[in-house]
Structure 1
Amino acid sequence: MIHAIWAMDINWMIGKDNILPWHYKEDLQYFKQMTKDKTVLMGEATYRSLKSYYKEKPLPFGKMFVANLIDTVYSDAECVTDVISFIKSYTDELWVIGGKIIYNLTLPYVDYLHITHVLNYHEGNVYFTPFKLSTYQLVEKKVLPGLIFATYKK
């Protein structure tokens, strides 16, 4: 089972210079609740960004895979140099947590989308590549002021 989780604003914007362009406590709690102790796949830039937030503390995930074109040794994660082959052959539960390129590569293989819809416009420079969300079935939705937490199934 493959899950992808992200937050995006009304314009499908997901980032600004490799950081979140907003701070919604509920969204951060949701992300942490959904991914805590889970096996995750992320790109190199997302990994470095998370490391900068957590400083010396370990990241709150279980097993971590970091996608990088260069075979790199990480002290707390395994390097994946071929995302498509990896995702096609991975048989356990996996959470894709960013960034844009990793989402683009893995989306055709993802079973569940966990999207925080940020009901506002924000400044940023990284946008999720639009796709037909209508091809997924909405299976869960929670509405808060300014946010919608939605889970979609393929």
Structure 2
Amino acid sequence: MIYAIWAMDVNWLIGQDNKLAWHYKEDLAYFKEKTKGKTVLMGDLTYKSLKGYYKDKPFPYGKIYVANLIDTAYDDAECITDVVDFVKNYKDELWIIGGKVIYNLTLPYVDYLLITHVLDIHKGNVYFNHFDLSSYKLVDKKLAPSLIFATYKKEI
């Protein structure tokens, strides 16, 4: 199964200069709960951004794959230079955790979307590309102040 998890505001904003454009404790806790110990795939910029948050602490994930067009050595991750081929042929559980380019490349192969809908408007400069959610079925929804945690399953 392939999962993608992200938060976006009502204008589909997902970030500001390679960082979150907001801080909701409930959203951060949800993301951590869902991805802890999991195999994750992220882009190089997301990797660097998360390193800035975690500093010298290890990431809470299991296996880490980092997408980069240039074959790069990472101390705690494996570099993937062909994201689409990797995801198309991946056989176990994989969590896509960002950023925008990685989401766009992998979305056709994702089985579950975990989207935190941020009900406020924020300032930023990175937006998720609009796509049609009608090929997904809402299978779970939880409400929190200013947030909707929604899980969608791809309909075959």
TM norm. shorter chain > 0.5:
yes
| Structure-1 residue corresponding to 2:34 | 34
- Which amino acid is 1:79 matched to? C
Matched, 1:106 2:106: yes
DSSP-derived class of the 1:140 partner: strand
Distance 1:144 1:26 in 2: 8
Residue 145 of structure 1 corresponds to: 145
Whether 1:121 aligns to 2:121 is yes
TM-score in terms of structure 1 length: 0.99
1:135 aligned residue = 135
Gaps of 5+ in 1: none
Match of 1:94 in 2: 94
CA distance in 2, matches of 1:144, 1:103: 25
- Percent of pairs with identical residues: 73
Letter in 2 for 1:36: K
Match of 1:5 in 2: 5
Q: Which runs of 4+ in 1 moved over 6 A?
A: none
Q: TM-score, normalised by structure 2?
A: 0.98
| CA drift at 1:145 | 1.2
Q: C-alpha offsets along residues 129-149 of structure 1, whole Å, 9 cap, x if unaligned?
A: 000112210000001110000
Per-residue CA shift, 1:61-116, capped at 9, x if unaligned?
A: 00000000000000000000000110011100000000000000000000000000
Indicate the residue corresponding to 1:85 in structure 2: 85
- The CA RMSD over aligned residues, in Å, is 0.4
Deviation (angstroms), 1:22 = 0.3
